[in-house]
Structure 1
Amino acid sequence: MAAAGRRFFHVARVLQHENPLGLPRTGSIPRMQRGLPERRRIRGVGKVIAVSSAKGGVGKSTVAANLALAFARLGHRSGILDTDIFGPSIPTLFNLNEEPRLSDNNQLLPLSNYGVKTMSMGYLVGEEAPVVWRGMMVMKALQQLLHEVDWGGLDILVLDLPPGTGDTQLSITQQIVLDGSVIITTPHTLSVKDAVKGINMFKKVNVPILGLVNNMSLFTCPHCGGQHHVFGSGEGVRRVCAEHEIALLGDIPLHQNIGTHSQEGKPTVVAEPGTERAEVFMAIARDVGGRIGC
């Protein structure tokens, strides 16, 4: 194991370890003793957006990865931070499985692919190793991922949030200055109802909602050309946008290649850059970038 690797934790000892990523304390992480910590910018990052869903299985990580790649194609220095401690997806989506090195000032150095810098808990544990942690351990690891990564200067960082509206989401929104949030849903009634929970969470913590993305919106049969709303017509999504006065950023079609390419570690924006579905991601990135001044 490399010298840097020896500084990381072993899962078997993690519950007894005060510093789960094995990094020295810098003293920069605020202690939550009374009240809420002060929101801070992530060092070396211009703009930060959170991609969120209150429900799993709606393609949130796939959308987040394609948005980060779209920002890179638009000429921005782009990065993505996987904040899902228990179920990280970014290593698979970006076809990366190396162990990060440490910089001279003992910060994690991101791994890069397709012109995007990435960081994930998935790089620090084995692919099949469970993260068996209680809440405080998760918060410590999350703080280190947020504040002890040397991004080397980014125009925009995409945070891929885990599904739900729990501790991780609240910790991020209360500690990090977010320039906006993007909420992912599908047209399915249950997904739309949960998306409303995500909208209300961001409203409560005063994070701007940049808009809603309607994923898996329309399936076009490759044989007959017929179009089918597999998960619903999308009327519920548009109604929620109207009721909460937020933008519908785009409708991403339900297409086999989007899922296949993601599993292969080469998302749509780089696998099929000239397709209509790739252009949907590009259009969403342009819209989001315009809304945050990036």
Structure 2
Amino acid sequence: GILDADIYGPSIPTMLGLYGAPDSADGKSMTPKTAYGVQTISIGYLVDAGQAMIWRGPIVTNALQQLLRDTNWSDLDYLIIDLPPGTGDIQLTLVQQIPVSGSIIVTTPQDIALIDAQRGLAMFEKVNVPVLGLVENMSMHICSNCGHEEAIFGHGGGRVMAETNRIDFLGALPLDIHIREFADSGRPTVVADPEGRPTQIYKEIARKVSAKLALQAKDFSSRFPNIVVQNT
């Protein structure tokens, strides 16, 4: 499943071609909307597409808590939470509310993006959320006419950051016009172009992450309340 936690700029509805409010069997909880076998929930289903989200921190926190608390997920294998950039209220609320198995840092190669990515990595380490690895997005521009590759945002910045921080480099995704076109049309790249190079990269990243999660020691301590025994 996917939980779109980017409250100010939800993009999952557009990328999956899903619109309209989710169903509710009891008028309180929400049934995730499903596309391509993936359950999803997003604030984008609950507000008009053109509505500006002029919300202060407490309202954003409450909205995220509602998505976390009131969604009736069905037999999930994984729940992927798409976070906005930064280290603000949404990220902190998330790690305080639910046990998070791991995080993935996504960055582009240029220095200005790597600075923000480093802050995000430091935040997850500080709150004891394992960093499963790093993905470099827009790694290489591929010309749609001739196929020429050019590192317009710099070369290898994500890989260097991963090596410096001793985390796994999970993969590098190209700046490819087809990825953008597929996302805008509501068809994920892995569905629209199952044999394409970007799809193979996505699948390899998914294999690496699932393998790391499978090998991860289970820690359920955060799911239980602290119990204090006092002698009277």
CA offsets 1:176-224 (integer angstroms, 9 cap, x no match): 1111001110111111111111110100000000000011111233444
- Is the 1:218–1:254 Cα contact (8 Å) retained in structure 2? yes
- Which residue is equivalent to 1:123? 45
Out of 235, 239, 242, which is 2:160 matched to? 239
- Is the 2:17–2:185 Cα contact (8 Å) retained in structure 1? yes
Out of 141, 154, 176, which is 2:98 matched to? 176
- Aligned to 2:79, the other structure's residue is in SS state strand
- Note the 1:82-97 alignment, pairs <5 A: 82-97=4-19
- Aligned to 2:77, the other structure's residue is in SS state strand
- Which residue is equivalent to 1:155? 77
CA offsets 1:84-115 (integer angstroms, 9 cap, x no match): 11111111011011211113483100101111
- Is the 2:144–2:177 Cα contact (8 Å) retained in structure 1? no
> Whole-Å Cα distance in 1 between the matches of residues 14 and 78 of structure 2?
21
Distance 1:223-1:126 versus aligned 2 partners, 3 A rule? closer
Out of 69, 76, 86, which is 1:164 matched to? 86
- Is the 1:217–1:253 Cα contact (8 Å) retained in structure 2? yes
- Which residue is equivalent to 1:293? 214
> Whole-Å Cα distance in 1 between the matches of residues 82 and 125 of structure 2?
19
Superposed displacement of residue 162, structure 1: 1.2
Q: TM-score, normalised by structure 2?
A: 0.89
- Which residue is equivalent to 1:264? 185
> Whole-Å Cα distance in 2 between the matches of residues 210 and 232 of structure 1?
24
Structure 1 consecutive aligned stretches of length 4 or more whose deviation exceeds 3 Å: 222-225
Letter in 1 for 2:184: Q
- Note the 1:190-269 alignment, pairs <5 A: 190-234=112-156, 236-269=157-190
CA offsets 1:95-140 (integer angstroms, 9 cap, x no match): 0112111134831001011111110001001111122222222111
CA offsets 1:248-291 (integer angstroms, 9 cap, x no match): 00011111000111111112111101111111000000100011
Letter in 1 for 2:122: N
Pick 1 or 2: higher relative contact order, CA cutoff 8 A, min separation 6: 1
> Whole-Å Cα distance in 2 between the matches of residues 160 and 273 of structure 1?
23
> Structure 1 unaligned runs (5+)?
1-78
> Structure 2 unaligned runs (5+)?
216-232
CA offsets 1:59-97 (integer angstroms, 9 cap, x no match): xxxxxxxxxxxxxxxxxxxx1000111111111011011
- Is the 1:103–1:150 Cα contact (8 Å) retained in structure 2? no
CA offsets 1:207-243 (integer angstroms, 9 cap, x no match): 0000000111112334444321111111x32221112
Letter in 1 for 2:99: V
How many residue pairs get aligned? The number is 215
> Whole-Å Cα distance in 2 between the matches of residues 159 and 125 of structure 1?
19
